[in-house]
Chains A and B, each alone.
Chain A
Amino acid sequence: MDRIPILKLGQALLVTIQVDMHDQLATALEEDLAARVVSSGARGVLIDISGLEIVDSFIGRMLDNIAAVSRLLDADTVVVGMRPAVAITLVELGLSLAGVRTALNVERGMALLSLSMADWGVGDDEDGD
């Protein structure tokens, strides 16, 4: 079966979804990402959905699940690149993805991730005295 590739970028994992995913592919991505977060020790997950022409309730739930599972595994998730028509449609569908952080593009998503990593003191020694 096909798999969506997962790239490591510093402390983060980057997933770029470029194909119209069938449901099993989306489910496989959820499982692959959880395993990679643990095996790589990544602190952030960046999901680029700029290639997606639609996000239906199944893909919406996949994004929610990835964010929730990653949080349990000590990594923050940011979804980037959502198209305007997709955002409008998702809200009308009734899915606002309240549990998912978003950014306009990969660059801003990385910035958001490094900010939240800094909050947790990753790479910094900020002992209070």
Chain B
Amino acid sequence: MATTKTVTDRPAERLEIRSSDDVVRVRQKVRVFAVESGLSLVDQTKIVTAASELARNTLDYGLGGTVDIQLTAAPRRGVRLTFVDQGPGIKDIELALRDGYSSGKGLGLGLSGARRLCNEFSIQSTPGAGTSVTIARWK
């Protein structure tokens, strides 16, 4: 009857990002996960803010998509988010990650800022096929 402690990551919860109301819902859901993962208030604020930037990118530049929200156990307890869209993609990722670079109406801080706010950041993009961004914040 010994209970085994789960060491694997739990399955992710997926949210659609199709409107700016969805961006608000993403922020609220990420907050719930961040609290549950035991992140400090400052770290909760950072991951929720990063999530808001990336959700807006998914909506505005990716023309909508999804986010998978997951509690992580390894390497450390935290929250991992994966944003996926099937939009036009990013031709020059290095350029897109530069502060102040914007192809649209924003300040150009979304991607670069989100990267600074997280412990883990990776991006894959194929022009014409879409973009995937994964971030994580750990304890």
User: In the complex, what distance in Å separates the CA atom of A114 from the CA atom of B99?
Assistant: 37
Q: Are B20 and A23 in contact (CB under 8 A)?
A: yes
Q: How large is the interface on B (under 10, 10 to 19, 20 to 34, 35 or more residues)?
A: 20 to 34
Q: Are A56 and B52 in contact (CB under 8 A)?
A: yes
Of B1-9, B23-31, B62-70, B81-89, the stretch lying at the interface with chain A is B23-31
Per-position binary interface string of chain A over residues 57-82, scored 1 when its CB falls under 8 Å from any chain B CB and 0 otherwise: 11011000000000000000000000
Known: A92-B117, A93-B113, A93-B117. A23 touches B56 (CB 8 A): yes
Q: SS class of chain A's interface: helix, strand, loop or mixed? A: helix
Tally the A-B contacts, defined by beta carbons under 8 Å: 70
- Residue on B with the closest CB to A60? B107
Check if A10 is an interface residue, CB within 8 A of chain B: no
CB proximity of A93 to chain B, nearest CB, Å: 4
Known: A23-B23, A24-B20, A85-B42. A57 touches B53 (CB 8 A): yes
